[in-house]
Amino acid sequence: MEMLFFTSTTTPLWSSAFTPHNAGQYAGVCIFLIVLSTIFRMLLAVRVNLFSLLSAIERRSHGGLVAPYAIEGKKTIRPWRAREALMTSTLDVIIAGVSYLLMLAVMTLNVGYFLSILGGVFLGSMFCGRLLGDTVGR
C-alpha cells in the first residue's frame, strides 16, 4: 500500500460530517487545525508550568506568603493533593485527546492539513515557546 501526500479540498476530517465540500470550507478546516495545534502548544506550556501557576495563585490568595515547599533553593517534593492531582490528570487527558485528534488529521495525508498543523505548532511555539524553554534538557 502506497502512502503518499495528496492535495484535495474534500478530504474528510475525523468523520463524514466534518468533510469540506468547497474551497472555502477547506480553508475553514485548515484555519481550525491551525488554531487547534496552537492551543495544543499552549496547553503543553500550561502543563509544564502548572505547579508554578498554582503556587502563584496560592501566594496571591494568602497575601504573598510563600508555601513551605516553594522556598527558593530548597529541593523538596510537593505534598500530594487531590485537587492538584485531579487538575493535572484532567489536563493530561485533554492534551492527549487534542494530540490524538491532530495525529489523525496528519494521518489523512492531506498536505493542507499537515501544513496547517505545522503552522499552528509554529505559532504556538512563537507565543508560548519561552514557557517551555526551561524543560529542555531535563
Q: Is the pTM of this model over 0.75?
A: yes
Per-range mean pLDDT, top range of 14-18, 41-45, 62-66, 100-104: 100-104
Using the predicted structure, report yes or no on whether residue 66 has a pLDDT greater than 90: no
pLDDT at 49: 84
Using the predicted structure, report yes or no on whether residue 36 has a pLDDT greater than 90: yes
Q: What angle do CA 56, 41, 47 make, to 5 degrees?
A: 35
Closest CA to 102 of 26, 39, 16: 39
Give domain limits for the chain: 25-131
Residue with the bigger pLDDT between 58 and 47: it is 47
pLDDT at 137: 47
The sign of the torsion formed by the CA atoms of 4, 6, 12, 14 equals: positive
| Residue located via cell numbers 502543563 | 47
